Amino acid sequence: MFALKLRPIRFYLSKEKLFYEAIRNIFGFYPENIFLYKLAFRHKSQAEELYNGVRVSNERLEFLGDTVLSTVVADYLFRMFPFKDEGFLTEMRSKIVSRAQLNKLSLRLGVDQLIIHTQDTSNVYRSIKGDAFEAIIGAMYLDKGYTFTRKVLINRVIKNNFDLNELINTDVNYKSKLIEWSQKEKKTIEFVVVQEVGTGYHKQYVVDAVVNSEVAGTGRDYSIKGAEQNAAMKAVEFFGINGNAKTDSNQK
């Protein structure tokens, strides 16, 4: 136990000093378990082999961070808008935790500079920056606990980077954008509910945006409509529809 308490100091005085400082500059605190945060920045293209062929990356932490972030944002919005209905809260949460927003947030905070990945990976995995941000949240939760993570996300991330009034007036319909593009490019498109996770108020839907019989994006949300929007958003990012559309010859 004594060695565990001294570990952050030992690492701070070692070659990990710059990494400690980077986390401190971005999130305002020094990590306890440095290994969690190092793993959070390791993309699957640079997965590290531990033993018996087992390879680890930030994917498990990303899964955990996604859940923690969604919970914190839902709780924050619930308290900020006590008289708004479930539909409003769901839409606002989707706007904050969307992959496009998390990618932008990662760039703004400098998270992208610490990601370990192969060359040109970001051209293939367009969500790599947002994925890393979620993985960091997962690492923070395991390292510091929910209450600490919630305070950091609300006070240092949400309040400093999101204008709620502006978000209320922002209406980006990714589904309509994807459908319009598919009609122009003469491609077929459908949205398929592939999974239902949880029950009751915790139930989430997983939807695939299928373009020309291939999955172009997968979205998850507490409503089918929200899941479709998230799936469409990922498909829009994948095809570069906002101005740099991919052609069939360079899709990956």
First to last CA, the chain: 48
Select which of 62, 112, 134, 228 is catalytic: 134
> CB within 8 A of 134, min separation 6: which ones?
61, 62, 65, 66, 69, 102
Token match 């922002």: residue? Answer: 170
Three-class SS state of 70:
helix
Tokens, residue 136: 């960091």
Report the candidate in 167, 174, 165, 138 with the shortest Cα–Cα distance to residue 153: 138
Select which of 62, 66, 143, 228 is catalytic: 66
Three-class SS state of 84:
coil
* Catalytic site includes residue 66: yes
Contact 147, 121 (CB under 8 A): no
Tokens, residue 191: 């949205």
* Residue 163: Cβ-neighbour burial (10 angstroms; 0-12, 13-18, 19+): exposed
Residues designated as active site: 66, 134
